Amino acid sequence: MANVDRLMEHIGDFGPFQKKIAILGSLPVILFAFVFVGVVFLGHTPDHWCWTPGSEQLVDECGWTEVEVREVTVPHSAGSFCQRYAANWPKSQNKCDAVMWELALNGSQTLPCDGRWVFDKSYTTTVSEFSLVCEKAWLAELNQVLLAFGFFTGAFVTSYIADRFGRKPCVIASMLGLGITGVGIMLSPWYPLLLLLRFVQGFSNFIEEEVRL
């Protein structure tokens, strides 16, 4: 322990060099925080309800708002919007007034949603972009599961990659991997591709964190 104390006296206190290394070493940790916690915002489920055939007529011809259309076309049992009323929309000129009567007759009859949804347009997430609600809600959870699986897979190959190619190339490759997969996830038109990129992102991130240690 005495030798360590003399060595620390020789090295000096926490100077400019140590501060620079600490700041540069903290940058990957900041990126990791965005990767790991960002799904809380990107995977949030906006307000949504099942689209009902003919509901555009209530908006365009009757001047109803989307909230008013939702209130009369979607059952509210247990707060679920995964079904719609089996309403037959009237074709008469007084359909704006008759629609309430039609819904009153058919209010007890519901149908499962046919897969078309209306989402809150104030913001967009992966859930609203790929319609991951109701029976497909479990697919939204795979976003974080594939990231964790990337961490798990990277744990088996991290030591070999660092020993075989060195720490510096691994850190550079990891940073490039995070950047490329981040852009790919943002532009992905298919959800399976997004999940694949999410796995690669977790794999790259684990290599970076392990190599830094």
What tens digit of pLDDT does each residue of 170-203 get? Answer: 778 888 888 888 889 888 899 999 999 999 888 8
Closest by Cα among 111, 114, 137 to 46: 137
Model confidence at 210: pLDDT above 60: no
C-alpha to C-alpha distance for 71 and 78, rounded to whole angstroms: 14
- Binning pLDDT at 50, 70 and 90, where does residue 25 land? confident
What tens digit of pLDDT does each residue of 117-155 get? Answer: 888 888 888 888 898 888 888 888 888 889 889 888 887
Range list of β-strands (E), 14-169? 48-50, 83-85, 110-112, 117-119
Domain locations along the chain: 25-46+123-213, 48-122
How would you classify residue 71: left for phi > 0, otherwise alpha for psi between -120 and 50, otherwise beta? alpha
Mean of the pLDDT values across residues 51-71?
A: 74
Per cent of the chain over pLDDT 70 is 78
